[in-house]
Copies of this chain bind each other. A is one copy, B any other.
Amino acid sequence: MKPAQNLASSIQTSASDIADRAFAEINKKTKPRGSLGTLENLAVQIAQITGTLSPVLSKKRICVFAASHGVVAEKVSAYPPEVTAQMLQNFLVGGAAINVLARHFGIDLHVIDVGVDPVSEKLCTTSNFYPRRVSAGTKNFVTDSAMTSEECTQAMRAGAEQVQIAAAGHIDLLGIGEMGIGNTTSASALVAALLDLPPKEVVGLGTGIDSETLNRKIDVVTRALAKHGPGVLQPAAQYWLQAVGGFEIAAMTGFILEAGKTRMAVAVDGFIATAAAAAAFQIDPSCRRVCFFSHQSAEAAHARVLAALEVAPILNLGMRLGEGTGAALAMPILEAAAKILAEMATFDSARVSDQIRDWV
């Protein structure tokens, strides 16, 4: 164990060392100290992830994972489950919000089907489509485990694969998003279990449900925790992912774990993607360092979960769509932060007089 410990300790020192150097470099820039606020913190984290004081985050990609959810049998969504398959098609023909935003910001898009029901025979597939179907959606987690252990692993691998593809393609910055009618219920159950939060604090309005449906959704989460809670196996995070998660959530957990290992920066989208991050953080806390939380969703539980994870969102635009739309808006800001560190003049390079430097 000695060599591994030494290596880990040396990586730790190196990451903290580069953070100090990035912070010192930012303080030499031609601006009052701290005056770029969040951008400065983002730049330091980017330096830590990339290991350089001249980070480049120009090649950007969002991976959208889609899957169907057995828990829709409990009537927890405002939309019928067929919308998942129809939106999958919409992503591939370029008409969804995430397509518009990704095109606008120069972000390319991968769409991964990890278990959408039904498979459309007329599905118009494109080169950015990855069929990685685990099965035709999860089981209803009120009565069954959402998935088997093998299915969970398979979904997580579909996520990890995308990080490997991105690394091979020299992508600098990744984003993750999702689509899956019913998946706020799954995410709520997951974060309630992992973060020990009461169901009514983590259940929200999702796509826009009425108060009767909201109460049913709280009840569904409560019953799921009661069913799967006793005798939890270790590691708990993966157990709960399997018990109440979704294939797209498990895929995003696998994605974040792999990104942590390969040191790829990831913009995490909204509530569902954050639930995936919560599971990843419990499985391997070291993956925290590569994650940026792009926005605070209008889904009320999201703020609660972000606080529990002790992370701060970059944007707060009252969005609650998913698909990676929040990640798309935050990624150019992350790239901007990298450029502040890499490109902005220092007081030295701008030849600002010594007298003025003394004032800073």
Q: Counting CB contacts under 8 A, is A203 at the interface?
A: no
Shortest beta-carbon distance, A81 to chain B, in Å?
10
**Copies per assembly:** 2
Residues of A320-349 whose CB lies within 8 A of B:
320-321, 325, 329, 332-333, 335-336, 339-340, 343-345, 349
Given known A-B contacts A86-B350, A340-B100, A30 and B356 have beta carbons under 8 A apart: no
Measured between beta carbons, the chain B residues less than 8 angstroms from A314 are 317
Q: Are A36 and B97 in contact, CB atoms less than 8 angstroms apart?
A: yes
Q: Is residue A195 contacting chain B, with contact meaning CB distance below 8 A? A: no
B-contacting residues, A345-360, CB 8 Å = 345, 349-350, 352-353, 355-356, 359-360
> With contacts A79-B359, A339-B104, A353-B82 known, is A30 near B321, CB below 8 A?
no
A325: which of B36, B95, B96, B208 is its contact (CB, 8 Å)?
Answer: B36
With a cutoff of 8 Å between Cβ atoms, the chain B residues found around residue A89 in the complex are 350
> Taking the nearest CB of chain B, how far is it from the CB of A207, in angstroms?
4
Given contacts A79-B359, A349-B95, contact A33 B208 (CB under 8 A): yes
Residues of B within 8 A of A325 (CB): 36
Given contacts A100-B339, A318-B38, contact A32 B95 (CB under 8 A): no
A residues with a Cβ closer than 8 A to B are: 29-39, 78-80, 82-83, 86-87, 89-90, 93, 95-97, 99-101, 103-105, 207-208, 298, 314-321, 325, 329, 332-333, 335-336, 339-340, 343-345, 349-350, 352-353, 355-356, 359-360
Contact sample, A vs B, 27 pairs, CB 8 Å cutoff: A30-B95, A30-B96, A32-B78, A32-B320, A35-B207, A35-B320, A35-B321, A36-B97, A37-B320, A38-B319, A39-B317, A80-B355, A82-B355, A82-B356, A83-B352, A86-B353, A90-B345, A95-B350, A96-B344, A96-B345, A97-B340, A100-B336, A103-B339, A104-B335, A104-B336, A105-B332, A317-B333
